[in-house]
Structure 1
Amino acid sequence: MVRLTRAQQQERTRAAVLTAARAEFTERGYAAAKVDEIAERAELTRGAVYSNFPSKRALYLAVLLDMVEHGVTDGIESPAPPSPPALAEALGAFARTWLERLPLAGDAPAFGQVQLRSLAGVLDDEPIRAAFGQVTRLEALLLALALESRTPARTPAKTPPVRQVRRAELVLRLLGGPSASVDPALAFGDPFDVAQACAHLGGLTLADTWDPPHLPYVPPAQVCREPWNPPERLRDLVTGRPVGFGEDGVVVLLGSHRLDAAEESVRAAADGDYVTVAVATTDPAEIGRLVQLRISDFTRCLRRVFTPDAWPRLRLVLDDRGLLASAVGVPDADDGAEHAVRVRQGSIVARAHGRGAAHAAAAVGRTTSDISHTAPDGAAP
């Protein structure tokens, strides 16, 4: 008889709970599902369920995340489009990919196909609602950056292309209804109609500028010279690949309630900069898992539509164990945190804290004169 180690037994228990929970949530939906029933299905005690997942909501989000990571073909392996799609074509393709698991008008919706993706009843308190709203803003930025790579640059030469965040927000608002509904085919029409409407948004003229009024009042980043000892590997939620931190660039630590500040670092960064946004939260079991679920599912669709050259120049990691926060020097980051550092040649050469920190640290690298040749300790950065 083979005896399992404690870790192996814990993994087996966790897998049994996930399997039982998926069946329970599929049959009853989130609101009506019972933890006692899940424990009975898994032939475990209620305490064994809660020892692996602190709440029903945490368990539900874990089931959804498991479906995204193991039950859906990874976008990295999916065939890339043969040529860069135009704006309207890209929006239509993205919408079709997003909606492909929903039933057509007139079809009987499969419960596991629709209900198990719903967040109805999950976002029932302010902390997780605030995090969800910020994740949606981050999704819009990711889609917008991909769209901007498909739009021609303006004149004069080297002027960035037109900002596409407002267009991306409209598309996601249109798609958000069907993905959250129990019966989207009845409530919102056929998904093909929704996809066609998203494609038409590609021709809409929008005055979309980047000019936040608070940026001129953001204090500059503080010049420093400190060791940079990042964690060896974290997974990039945009590409699904491991992230190394040996390159020069900007590392931004944002709490789950400050994710909209990611755009400040992207717009301020110099061409060629690596911009890494690390999401911090005091509740990794629920809010952390929600962030990972939404972004993983979203970027799966993004990678299937846009070629690798169009993927956003933004790396996104979930720092649920605080490894990157510790490396940045902020071990107690909370959901409202905003901290950023500029990394050059293996050292932290500038850091900023508080509102506007992402912009301040990214702006340092736009010219070589941004950092003084003499750091506070007398060493050259």
Structure 2
Amino acid sequence: MARLTRAQQQQRTRDTVLVAAREEFAEYGYAEAKVDRIAERAELTRGAVYSNFTGKRALYLAVLAEAAERARAAAEPPRESPDSAGRALGAFARVWLERLPLAGDTPGSGHLQLRSLSGVLDTAPARAALAELVRFDALLLALALESCPGSGARMVRPAVLALTLLHGAAGLTENAPGIGDPFDLADAAEHLAGIALTDDAEPPHLPFVVPARPTEDRWAAPGGLPDEITGRPVDLGDDGVVVALGVARLSAAEEAVRAARPGDEVTIVVVTDDPAETGRLARLRLFDLVGCLRRVFAAGELPRLRVVFDDDGAVAAALGRDSADDGTEFAVRVAGGLIVARGEGRGAGHAVACHGAVDRGRRKRPEAT
């Protein structure tokens, strides 16, 4: 039998730890689970567990993210597309509510099924990151709803209301399994699409955003990155806008999306200085949402927004940044394979998306250097 490489052995150890952690969390829940017992279940030392995961919270988030990723991979498109935003929102709610625990479930297994974060995010930065992720979820849901027939309005606020309803129901059911009727909740979500809500005004800082700086920069766009919404590979050299956002700035994605020109490819690059926890939290939330969207919307109706994770900092480095953290916001406009505009700081995505038209006819895509 061929010997495993170091990387293969490390992956096998991580997989073993995750299986043991899933069993521990299902039996005891997050609060009562113990890393020592996880090590015993995995027949490994405590040190082996900590060499792969920074602690119990990172382990729990990894277990939840893995479950969400499996659900996303198994999601099948609907036989028929929803014929209105209301029906789409109701269908989304029905899919989302499938995770509600039943009265006979144990607390631990119910928490895992819910992807519950109760008692897990106990720091102010973690809670702030979650708030940004919920806003980002709402944007992605809204962009899908806006593709529905007859939907002429922005749908971010109804999407926020729907997610609030669903997460509130989940929090109640977590403590009182079996309470609430999922069909009633789905009907209520459907009606949220028709509530008359005034469009939010543009964020007050946008008129004061520093304009993007024109450039003529060649760059070697990193390859091999998947779009986490469609699963297709992303070519960052496509004409359009690339916005790198830390998890604590993800709500700024809407500023870039709304300002982009028709036909622009808009790519959100998610960066963090804490991939073990904040990065996994971001993956959990995105995989969870996209898994639901794929079961409601056909591939062509999914949000026209590409999302990639820059785990190793390759995208940031290619764009000239040595490091990036949860508060990062910088952006570039790409045309003809060149970076033709750069922006940095609050509103960078908006500034770059608004940058003046480029005479693409005079540009030829250069070879990467």
**Same fold per superposition (TM over 0.5):** yes
SS of alignment partner, residue 233 of structure 1: coil
Partner of 1:74: 73
Partner of 1:96: 94
Q: Measure the CA separation in 2 of the matches of 1:287 and 1:180.
A: 21
1:109 to 105, 121, 124: 105
Q: CA shift at 1:217, angstroms?
A: 1.2
Partner of 2:148: 150
SS of alignment partner, residue 331 of structure 1: coil
* Residues 351 and 282 of structure 1: CA distance in aligned 2, closer, same or farther (over 3 Å): same
Q: Does 1:281 align with 2:281?
A: no
Q: Measure the CA separation in 1 of the matches of 2:13 and 2:28.
A: 22
SS of alignment partner, residue 355 of structure 2: helix
Structure 2 counterpart of 1:299, one-letter code? V
Q: Which moved more, 1:318-327 or 1:265-274?
A: 318-327
State how 1:1-381 maps to structure 2 within 5 Å. 2-70=2-70, 72=71, 74=73, 78-103=76-101, 107-111=103-107, 114-116=110-112, 117-152=115-150, 161-180=152-171, 183=174, 186=177, 189-365=180-356, 367-368=357-358
Does the CA contact (< 8 Å) of 2:96 and 2:292 recur in 1? yes
Give RMSD over aligned pairs: 2.1
Scaled by the length of structure 1, what TM-score is found? 0.89
Q: CA shift at 1:166, angstroms?
A: 0.6
Does the CA contact (< 8 Å) of 1:29 and 1:115 recur in 2? yes
Does the CA contact (< 8 Å) of 1:81 and 1:306 recur in 2? no
SS of alignment partner, residue 248 of structure 2: coil
Q: CA shift at 1:264, angstroms?
A: 0.5
Deviations along 1:13-66, one digit per CA (max 9) or x if unpaired, are: 111101100000000001110000000010100000000001111111111111
Q: CA shift at 1:195, angstroms?
A: 1.1
Partner of 1:156: none
* Residues 257 and 114 of structure 1: CA distance in aligned 2, closer, same or farther (over 3 Å): same
Q: Measure the CA separation in 2 of the matches of 1:289 and 1:178.
A: 24
Q: Measure the CA separation in 1 of the matches of 2:93 and 2:202.
A: 29
Scaled by the length of structure 2, what TM-score is found? 0.92
* Residues 202 and 81 of structure 1: CA distance in aligned 2, closer, same or farther (over 3 Å): farther
Deviations along 1:285-311, one digit per CA (max 9) or x if unpaired, are: 000010011101111101111122221
Number of positions where the alignment pairs a residue of Structure 1 with one of Structure 2: 360
Deviations along 1:148-187, one digit per CA (max 9) or x if unpaired, are: 111536xxxxxxx311111000000001123345636648
Unpaired runs of at least 5, structure 2: 364-369
Does the CA contact (< 8 Å) of 1:85 and 1:306 recur in 2? no
Q: Kindly report structure 1 stretches of 4+ aligned residues shifted beyond 4 Å.
A: 110-113, 184-188
* Residues 269 and 130 of structure 1: CA distance in aligned 2, closer, same or farther (over 3 Å): same
SS of alignment partner, residue 183 of structure 1: helix
Q: Measure the CA separation in 2 of the matches of 1:291 and 1:57.
A: 14
Structure 2 counterpart of 1:27, one-letter code? E
Does the CA contact (< 8 Å) of 2:28 and 2:108 recur in 1? no
Does the CA contact (< 8 Å) of 1:177 and 1:188 recur in 2? no
